[in-house]
Structure 1
């Protein structure tokens, strides 16, 4: 075990040339980031998750009820043992051949069976109230951490001159503000990583999972090798747009369409300008070029920049989806769908219970392809998704 740890914490990988871990041990004069500091993030992530449950129950839920957001979920499908067995044991999305077989077996028309499966799938989806509570929690945290980051960073020299991130590196002392900022961000993203499996499932589940893993890796990486200064810039930049998208979702759930459209437009502008403009020009420029000039490359430097570039690729992918959503919104007059979610809509369909007698009708699927959601990070803000 000792050999594995020695290999993992190899100074030649983690630190610049001629720097050892002994040089970064805490002293009476200065405190430096230590890997064991990050152990605190795991229990804190659990605490954040518990705080979220309390927040959603006693703060977000009353706010939602005050806005008259419905607590009930989608209409339940009529009980049917045969269809339920197919749904749970075989497929949730029967093909045309199976639909026709079930139609003959039950003496129902194909359209009715399609509607039953659609209702049954929607039955497992969270209610609008649950979505609102989830978005309000994220909005509250992002607003707090972004406000904290701005108030902290505006007093630092590296906000105004990014070369300050690398002067005297890696012998830059760890301040209380940086330590608090890092531990809180890491704990939050750890809680997101695990709660993603219990939250509303989205089309971009794997992309978001990759995003959370990359973010956690970047936070951990930059803390361990004391790239904390540039790390604070990355975190603050990313939190800015997240505040607006969660606000847009809440406006949508409250059926404030004009406010939803306005907030989404602000989000789109801020996201694209910050992630495709400020991020590469400001962040990648200093990590790739200014650090090369002042410090020089070393193995973990390459890995750190590779993670930052991976993040940039995700930014480009999401920007494409946002532009696609914006174009659709302009053509229809309102924000209605973002391709980053797989949540099905039920409000725009005829969800009447299946009849007892077969009716002759078209066998085409009645799903309206114009409904949908915005699944950025965690939620779906558009009113016609339910």
Structure 2
């Protein structure tokens, strides 16, 4: 509603910026999603209690329920483990554990910590907690992966990843590491779908799907060595980037700038040098070290030089009991290589966006990060002209109208006021400028967008 009088010169104020939230989605899917999001910890605890109580009070079912809690397929003579279908029960348990543990850690530890640090905005507090959870997880799994790699037979020797195929037996720590990582990545697919969608939702979803397919196939076809190396190469970035973002949220722009540089360097070295080296090894080393054919899993002896062209039967060999020969062929090799190159293409697109944002920071030009979990996503800035209050009395300065006459001034009573509805002008989104480095002449900075950026958020 706009207050309007018989005079036509009461609209001289500067437009005021208002925020308008997007309309809420009230669909059934959205209600289910919110129900799961708001009760992640409760649902997880109930599932875990149900399994635990079933195990304790129904001894006849322990042979079935124990597979959720302990590693399966142990060889008592060697102390090593094989792969099999029952391992998927262990993965399911850890998906539930990660769901509840993540929710509890964020709600009762990380978000209160963020508020104690002075981060006031609810969305920034949530982002800080999400990134801190990633730091906690990868600070445990990445050193574990490094330890397994340093003590392995293929340390610093990529062709050795393909030796001794099929690699049927695993050390307990390797099996635990691989299954927990598999569970984490499946749980990340759940997180991407049940929590608020970010700008890069489909890119992240594609990345997680490819990762899970590779882990499922490599575990079932006895290729855990290469899977382990890929995880070690990829995981370190997921410590550095969340740390840089949290320095931004906490209000340490200089430290964040430094960490942002470390992040770019780490990303480039691990994902555009080391990872392509693994892809090259798939292309070059496999035909030499592990030529196509069918092998006896128990003796590792080649039974036939003809590996056929089947894919599914060979990638689920371990899940189906590991009986009979397992084959490796050119179709399977090219399928693995295709998935790895698709992953490389995706992270190359991301790195291009990262470099664009970095250039914007250094040059002071506007930066639009399409990987961003935009901090203001869901809110639009809209400028609405606001009327000035009715002025009663004389104006300090007189201006002439287009007809040459002075505008008429008079005092009006409330009975002469007319209320007229005014429609809001179309929403106008504001451009975000790169931040993180103070550049003279650019005072309208917004925090460096989403996943990348180091400027102190306004209002914390």
1:37 aligns with 2:87: yes
2:108 is aligned, of 51, 58, 62, to 58
Shift, 1:133, TM fit = 0.7
Tell me if structure 1 keeps the 8 A contact 2:167–2:223. Answer: no
Change (3 A) 1:41 1:143: same
Query: 1:204, 1:375 within 8 Å by CA — same for their partners in 2?
Result: no
Alignment of 1:348-367 (within 5 A): 365=428, 367=430
| 1:313 corresponds to 2:363 | no
Whole-Å separation in 2 of the counterparts to 1:383 and 1:178:
41
- Counterparts of 1:232 and 1:151 in 2: how far apart (Å)? 11
1:148-297 mapped onto 2 (5 Å cutoff): 148-281=144-277, 283-297=278-292
CA RMSD of aligned residues (A): 3.2
The C-alpha deviation readout for 1:183-215, integer Å capped at 9, x for no partner, is 111111111100112334211100100000001
Deviation at 1:172, TM superposition (A): 4.6
Note the alpha carbon deviations across 1:280-332, whole angstroms, 9 max, x for none. 12x11222211121112413333222211111111211111111111011112
**Counterparts in 2 of 1:212 and 1:372: CA distance versus 1, 3 Å:** farther
Contact 1:372-1:384 within 8 A present in 2 as well: yes
Gap change, CA 1:364 and 1:213, over 3 Å in 2: closer
How far apart are 1:342 and its partner, in Å?
Answer: 5.8
**Structure 1: how far apart are the matches of 2:203 and 2:368?**
18
Equivalent residue for 2:126?
130
Report the 3-state secondary structure (helix = DSSP H, G, I; strand = E; otherwise coil) of the residue aligned with 1:193: helix
Structure 1 gaps, min length 5: 1-24, 74-126
Per-residue CA distance 1:216-255 (angstroms, 9 max, x = gap): 1111111111110111100011001111111011111112
Seen in structure 2, the aligned counterparts of structure 1 residues 218 and 381 have a Cα distance that, compared at 3 Å, is farther
Paired residues, number: 304
Higher gyration radius (CA)? 2
State the TM-score, normalizing by the size of structure 1. Answer: 0.70
Contact 2:207 2:343 (C-alpha < 8 Å) held by counterparts: yes
Is this contact kept in 2: 1:142–1:242, CA < 8 A? yes
- In structure 2, distance between residues paired with 1:359 and 1:146: 58
Q: Structure 2 length normalisation: TM-score?
A: 0.60
- Judge conservation of contact 2:200–2:372 (CA < 8 Å) in 1: yes
Choose between structure 1 and 2: higher strand proportion: 2
Whether contact under 8 Å (1:248, 1:264) holds in the other structure is yes
Change (3 A) 1:206 1:364: closer
Task: Verify the 8 A CA contact 1:211 1:311 in the aligned structure 2.
Answer: yes
Does the alignment pair 1:46 with 2:42? no
What is the rounded CA distance, in whole Å, between the counterparts of 1:139 and 1:353 in structure 2? Answer: 45
Return the offset for 1:269.
1.0
**Structure 2: stretches of 5+ with no match in the other structure:** 1-72, 293-328, 388-418, 434-445
Counterpart in the other structure of 1:329: 361
2:367–2:432 Cα contact (<8 Å) kept:
no
